[in-house]
Amino acid sequence: MQVKFNAVVAAAALLIAGAASAQDMVVKIGHVGPTSGGIAHLGKDNEMGARMAIDELNAKGVSIGGKKVKFELLAEDDAGDPKQGTAVAQKLVDSKVMGVIGHLNSGTSIPASKIYSDAGIPQISPSATNPKFTRNGYKTTFRVVADDVHLGGTLGRYAVKELKGKSIAVIDDRTAYGQGVAEEFAKAVKASGGAIAEQQFTTDKATDFTAILTAIKAKKPDVVFYGGMDAVAGPMIRQMKQLGINAKFMGGDGICSGELPKLAAGAMADGQVVCAEAGGVEGEQKAGMDKFRADFKKKFNADVQIYAPYVYDATMVMVDAMVKAGSAEPAKYLPVLAKTSGYKGVTGTIAFDEKGDVKNGALTLFTYKGEKREQIAVVR
């Protein structure tokens, strides 16, 4: 009887040990984006990019340091709000995530980066473009897209040299992203010999732009630049048409979504909008991006909005560093992540500089025709 009892105890102990061992192999990765509020469609796009990567990794089977690993995605909503962003960042730290992909907006990514840095947890943003994001000296902060200096600068030069803008108006939503990209755009316009005829401000939650657009109309603009997101840009384009402002409309990656024509409610003329996405592939690499978009559509029955491929790559780059380091512990894989070089992703080749910025970040200029995005050029 005692022998049988001991055997049962031993078997139970083995089961418990096995369960604990299986538990040890779960690696938690956090994702943060605005899955509620005005740009929820962009936040959900990002989250689906992360889910796609995690599902693929788990289906393929990944071993780290000789142990088979199961990845678990902890997805949080920051609603595009800096206070909520820091709250969910702390929640992820407390949940013992090994790394974080996010946040979407610069305004949430920048304050959250300190929390991740203090905890020693690597953070890769797929979409925060404000230069300040990687300028605080945090060793844990990375991004896989070009910053606003490149983004706003390229658009500013394009407005003067290609669109031949003589009277250029600038509007921004006063967020870290909107203000940052608008400032860089204005600098590049002036450096290219152009002039800013009018500068106005709004918010990221505004819906009525009559006052600022009336002030702009008086300057007879041929180009209007908006620093902000598509949820505001769409209604702004609609109100420009109502006021008879027949100008080109420009913006950064925040407006460059598949949703913009719907948000403008049919007010966009073909070729009226010129925007830039902070990334870009051409030639042979374009096939990889096309495949990603097709696979994404098949999996989620939704088109890619903007950033999902960058989230996917950011997740894959983070896991690649864990595999190479032989550990998912942040302190062990962080130095390997920082040295990432020549990683072939769907968004192009990824390598980080000493600040955590992507090296040789490309931009893709787009316009819209027949309410569909159409590529103009890839710029480096």
Domain edges within the chain = 2-145+285-359, 148-277
% of the chain at pLDDT higher than 90: 89
Mean pLDDT over 369-380 rounds to 92
Q: For residue 8, is pLDDT > 80? A: no
Confidence bin at 271 (pLDDT 50/70/90): very high
Look at residue 17 in the predicted model and tell me its pLDDT: 43
3-state helix, strand, coil in the chain (%, to 5): 45, 20, 35
Which two tokens mark 365? 């200029």
Rounded CA-CA distance 117/127 in Å is 19
* List of long-range contacts for 14-23, beta carbons under 8 Å, 24+ apart: none
Q: Which fold has domain 2-145+285-359?
A: Rossmann fold (3.40.50)
Q: Please choose, from the candidates 359, 345, 349, the residue with its C-alpha nearest in 3D space to the C-alpha of residue 49.
A: 345
pLDDT in tens, 90-111: 999 999 999 999 999 999 999 9
**What spatial distance separates the first Cα and last Cα of the chain, rounded to whole Å?**
77
Average pLDDT over the chain reads 93
One fold for 2-145+285-359 and 148-277:
yes
Quick check: 199 and 170 in contact, CB under 8 A?
yes
Which position has the token pair 């689906």?
48
Q: For residue 5, is pLDDT > 70? A: no
The one-letter amino acid at 331: A
Q: For residue 22, is pLDDT > 50? A: no
Which two tokens mark 133? 């994001």
List, in sequence order, the alpha helices (H) in the chain.
Answer: 2-24, 40-60, 82-94, 106-119, 148-161, 176-191, 210-217, 230-242, 260-263, 285-300, 308-325, 330-338
Whole-Å CA distances, 254 to 42, 127, 129, 233, 277: 9, 9, 10, 9, 8
Least confident of 23-37, 105-119, 132-146, 346-360: 23-37
pLDDT in tens, 28-80: 999 999 999 999 999 999 999 999 999 999 999 999 999 999 999 999 999 99
For residue 243, how many C-alpha atoms fall within 13 Å in the half-sphere facing its CB?
A: 21
Confidence bin at 23 (pLDDT 50/70/90): low
Q: Which CATH class is domain 148-277?
A: alpha beta
Mean pLDDT over 188-204 rounds to 96
Quick check: 186 and 199 in contact, CB under 8 A?
yes
Which two tokens mark 372? 């569909």
Confidence bin at 279 (pLDDT 50/70/90): confident
Quick check: 330 and 121 in contact, CB under 8 A?
yes
Q: For residue 351, is pLDDT > 80? A: yes
Confidence bin at 321 (pLDDT 50/70/90): very high
